[in-house]
Structure 1
């Protein structure tokens, strides 16, 4: 079973990666930039496994760079708040 199969597992996985990045001293801006790059990769290379991921992909591919950065920032903030 992949972390992409279940949205809550996916969020938990990403939250752990954010915690690791923070413990290594990465700034929020660096984390958000990495999240943007991950968003690009996921949108181009990974098939969504559930409705939430499909929504995120559709939002991502229909957004400009500034909007994608906002989506990435919102996801990082959501995951930070849920820890």
Structure 2
């Protein structure tokens, strides 16, 4: 798991500021980004649990390193901060389902 966490954190850190702005400038761009990553994970054979753990790691990274850019991201950030680890994990599952159903 630590290797998986490190890979995700390194990949998130690899995006330059312009790429981050494009992804985070509006919620639909963020959902599209997450959808592409979930689809890639599904093609690699990752389970829903593994996808949720990946989404959880991305959310933790964003909570530590990025400010919300819109109302939807602000709401997600507030929910993330308010939740305990278990609730954050459930929210990560819901985010994966959200983009799978688009």
**Partner residue in 1 for 2:12:** none
Q: Which runs of 4+ in 1 moved over 4 A?
A: none
Output the TM-score relative to the length of structure 2: 0.77
**Partner residue in 1 for 2:80:** 60
Q: Compare the two structures and name the one with the higher helix fraction.
A: 2
Output the TM-score relative to the length of structure 1: 0.94
- Aligned-partner SS, 1:25: coil
Question: Unaligned stretches of 5+ in structure 1?
Answer: none
Alignment pair present for 1:28 and 2:85: no
CA apart distance, 1:6: 0.9
Question: Unaligned stretches of 5+ in structure 2?
Answer: 1-20
CA apart distance, 1:2: 1.5
CA RMSD of aligned residues (A): 0.8
Aligned pairs, number = 82
**Partner residue in 2 for 1:46:** 66
